[in-house]
Amino acid sequence: MQRCTALDYVSVEDKSILWKHRHELASLGENVINLSIGHSTLPTVLRSVNWTDKAQVNEIHHLLYRWDPQPSKIDALQLLDAQFADHKVRALGVQCLESMTDDELRLYMIQLIQAIKFEQHTDSALSRFLLRRSLAKPTTVGRAFFWGLKAEMLGASKIEKPNTSSSVANVFEEDQYDDNYARSPKMVK
């Protein structure tokens, strides 16, 4: 558990062990977490849930708000990742972010805007949180939110699908050679 991060692979065996001990992990308490692991166990246990099993999903929903301790603001960002599409998990992540200062919110604004992409609906806890905080502080948080969204929209409109007809392999086709230049390639404009 100490080395398990959001980027680490969790094997089927590890998932089984995590799920088996979910109740113990949910009640470790802040002192044990800080002394041994250093971060919330919730994101790791959530990675062990079989989201197609309704019984497991219902059980994890009951455990979410009783988790001791609740995830830190940084750990809560993991709950907004693409691997957690469940709206209750994402709502808990947003709830944990409520205590962020305006400066912290501005610091993580890019990541939060990216997390909006993983929302299933436009009316989500994350969207409402960002809009509410932006409207409360329009010159600081609002400006960061606006320009982050603007940059994201601009970036999305600039992405073009690759054109297979202009691939490198097609640059030197037969009709691009000039017999006058001993079959040397023409300059492509």
Least confident of 69-73, 135-139, 169-173, 177-181: 169-173
Residue 170 identity: N
Average confidence score pLDDT of the chain: 79
Our CA angle for 161, 167, 179, nearest 5°, is 145
Our CA angle for 154, 159, 162, nearest 5°, is 170
Whether 83 and 47 have beta carbons less than 8 Å apart is answered as yes
- In this model, does residue 169 exceed pLDDT 50? no
Residue 169 identity: A
Q: In the numeric block, which tokens belong to residue 102?
A: 């305006």
Interatomic CA distance for residues 89 and 92, integer angstroms: 5
pLDDT at 65: 84
Interatomic CA distance for residues 123 and 5, integer angstroms: 29
Interatomic CA distance for residues 146 and 32, integer angstroms: 40
Cβ-in-10-Å burial (0-12, 13-18, 19+) of 31 comes to: exposed
pLDDT, one tens digit per residue, over 10-64 is 778 887 888 888 888 887 754 444 444 446 788 888 988 999 999 999 999 999 9
